[in-house]
Each structure stands twice: as structure tokens, then as C-alpha cells.
Amino acid sequence: MKKNRRQFIYESFAGLATLTMGPYVFGRNHFLADRLYDSKPWIELSKAAYLHNVLQINKIVGGKPIIAVLKNNAYGLGDVQVAKILDNAPGVVAVALVKDERAIALKTAGFSKPVLLMGDFDSATANALVEQEITLSIFSKASFKKISELVESTHKTINVALYIDTGLGRMGIPYKEAIHIGEEVAKNNKLRITHTFSTLTSPKDFAEKQIQRFEEITKELNAKGITTGIKHLAPSLSLLDLPKSHQEAVRPGILLHGSFPMVNRPEAKQYPLQVPYRLKAPIIRLEKLKAGDTIGFSRFYKIKNEEWIATLPVGWADGYDSEAENGALVLLGGELYPVVNVNASHTNVSLGFKTKIKVGDVATLIGPDRPEITPEGFGKLIKGHNYLQINYKESIPKKTYESF
């Protein structure tokens, strides 16, 4: 790694390093600072990259506020860690997620902005959700009843969102019932509507129809004197495709986490995003295999001559895409090397006939450092999609840096 990339501050010794030893400590202890674990993969997060992506999205949508989607453990990158970064991002007004216990976990970790729960909740978490003032979604008659009962049992005012199904057919009050249920909700003065939202499908013409339905409903509710809170519709693709979808806030996930929802989007040039994370793992075994030797259960990869084969302690059970063995590259000591085998817990990389790489050296499997290993670059190499990190296991440790 070069010095300019050493700017990042290794959280645990930030004060010590910058105050007493200066930046050189990272030059000399490069190896130490670089390898967080000896035997497992980890994820590094960049605050600066997240803040950059927030600014870019703000530009795309002309300054509209952002409700950051942190579902699925912030797309595999660590919901608590990413929420802590976004707590300091002026463009982000709230976060949205789907699991009740994760909403509570963010609040318990000290996240200060409003949290919108877009999914259902269990009776066991209900009181904690109310206590933490998390906005609960009314997405059906049954969920309205459940939340009304919670008002009675807690005697508390509860923040709610009217979640309307304008055509996705997955979650939400069917749009034809939205006015009626909205009126019923408004009659309960212990329910405070802080959001009204829906989500759009991908085909533009139908998404436009959905926007129209949504606007008719919210207009009619407002005309009846019912406040609708923040109105929002747009995940990443819609916010790029349809300015009318921006409403009062946008609700991106993947753009924040550094990828466009599809490859080769024209906006990528005008509004470049930064990949805010690295997936890294140390080499735990290095052996020179001989002509005729094979690697992995399928014995698909055959050694033609002699090759150094490195083993990394990360595999598809950790969420690293098993298709990586069909063309992905990893960065090691400043060079890219091909992945030749992915098993549940191990990945093999070919280092060729001669190498200076050693056991303990750290591979970057995904990160901003080369176009081939960004999420989009990786997706292109394996002919996959841009949402690849969403499967990363929660158990992979995370570390946050000021910048990379």
C-alpha cells in the first residue's frame, strides 16, 4: 500500500498514532496495521466514502433529503456501523429497515436519527419499539389493529407510517383501501403519522402509474386535513429514472453503499460514487502445486505446470459469491490474481510460477482499489449483479476508518 492510503486511522490507536508518533508509524508497521485478523475475513468501512455518496445522491435529487435503507444488515456491511457513520451525514434525515430487532439494535447503539421500520414486529419487541420511538409501518388492516392495541396497552403516542401498495404487490395497504385506513388512523390521536410511503417497480411506465396513484391518495388525505408526514417512494433505480418519484425524500440503498443498481448507468460518470468498503482476508496457506494436481472438490482447476496456490479463509458461506471462481480477481501486494476455487469456507487464488507473497499477506477481495475488484467490476467479471455484498454474513467483523 502507498503512503497516501495510509491516511486512514486505525480506530483503536487513532490518538496514539497521530499525536505521539505521527503518520510514520503506519509506514513502519504497515503489515501490522493492515492485518486485522490472522484467520478470518473482515470488512473495512470508510466514513468519507459514505459521506461522499450521500452528497452525490443529494446532487442527483436536487437536495431532497435521504432516508437511508439499512435493511439486511446494511446490505451486508454492518447496520450499526453504517448507521453511526450516517448519524453525522447532514443529507440523511432517517434510516429505514425491515427487522424489528435491528431497529432496536441501532437505537441501543446510540443512533440518534429517526428509524422507520418497514417490516412487521413481534409481540416480544413491541414495547421496546415504542420506547425507542421507532416509526411502525401500517401495511394492512391487521397491522393497523395490532398497532392500535399497542397504543392501548402502552398508553403512549406511537409514530406510524402509512405504507401503501401502489402496485408492487408485496407489502402495504392496497391503494384502493388507503384513504379509508388513513382516515381511521387519523381518528386515533395517539397515532402520529410521520411517513407515508410506497415503493416503485422497475418498469418506468408502470412506476409512473404508481406515482400517480400515490399522489392522488396523499392529496386526498391532505384535503381531508390528515397530515401524511414525509412522503417518499424512490429506491435507487427510480430516483435515477424518474424525477417525479423524488417526492419529499428519496429512499436509496445500493447507491449509498457505493454501487449503481445496474451496470453501465450513464450517471456513473457525472456522479461517481465511492466504494465505501473492503472485504479482506489473510493468506492462511501457500503451497506450490505440481502439474496434474487439482484444487477443490470438483477438481475443476488443474495445474498445468507448477503454480503457487494461496488459500484464503473466506468462502460462499461468508457471502462471497461462489461464481468468483469463474473470472474474479483479488488484489495482493499491488497485483491482481485469479480466483480458481470457492468453497463454503475457503477460496483459492493462483499466484503463478514465482511469487513474493507470503502466508499472512492480506488479500482484498472487494474494494475501491482497482476497477476489477469494485462491486460493479466484480459483478461484470462473474456476470452477476451489483447487489452482491448483500449476502455477507453478519459474523464478519467490521472496522470503520475516517477514509481509505
Ligand X SMILES: *Cc1c(COP(=O)(O)O)cnc(C)c1O
The contact set with ligand X (CB under 6 A) reads 69, 71, 118, 199, 235-237, 251-254, 261
The distance of closest approach from Cβ of residue 260 to ligand X in the complex, given in angstroms and rounded to an integer, is 10
- Looking up cell 464478519 gives 396
* Unique residue bearing C-alpha cell 421507532: 134
Closest separation between CB of residue 239 and ligand X, Å?
8
Residue 342, classed as helix, strand or coil, is strand
As measured in angstroms, the least distance from the Cβ of 225 to ligand X is: 27
**Nearest residue (CB) to ligand X, 97 versus 381:** 97
Q: How far is the CB of 210 from ligand X (least distance, A)?
A: 12
For 12, other C-beta atoms within 10 Å of its C-beta total 10
Q: How far is the CB of 71 from ligand X (least distance, A)?
A: 6
Complex with ligand X: residue 237 or 309, whichever CB lies closer? 237
In whole angstroms, the minimum distance from the beta carbon of 74 to ligand X comes to 11
Which residue number is nearest to ligand X in terms of Cβ?
253
Nearer to ligand X, 195 or 251 (CB): 251
Residue pair 378/324 in contact (Cβ under 8 Å)? The answer is: yes
Which three cell numbers, joined as nine digits, stand for 243?
424525477
- What is the C-alpha separation between 23 and 150, in angstroms, rounded? 54
- Residues 247, 234 contacting (CB under 8 angstroms): yes
Q: CB within 8 A of 59, min separation 6: which ones?
A: 271
Q: How far apart are CA 121 and CA 150, in angstroms?
A: 12
If the CB atoms of residues 199 and 348 are measured against ligand X, the closer one turns out to be: 199
Q: Which is nearer to ligand X, 166 or 355 (CB)?
A: 166
* Strand segments (E) across 155-297: 158-165, 173-174, 191-197, 230-232, 277-282, 285-289, 294-295
Q: In this complex, which beta carbon is closest to ligand X, that of residue 194 or of residue 311?
A: 194
Task: Tell me whether residue 231 or residue 251 sits nearer to ligand X (CB atom).
Answer: 251
Q: Count helices and strands (H / E) in the chain.
A: 14, 19
Query: What distance in Å separates the CA atoms of residue 149 and residue 157, rounded to the nearest whole number?
Result: 12
Residue 337, beta-bridge partner list: 330
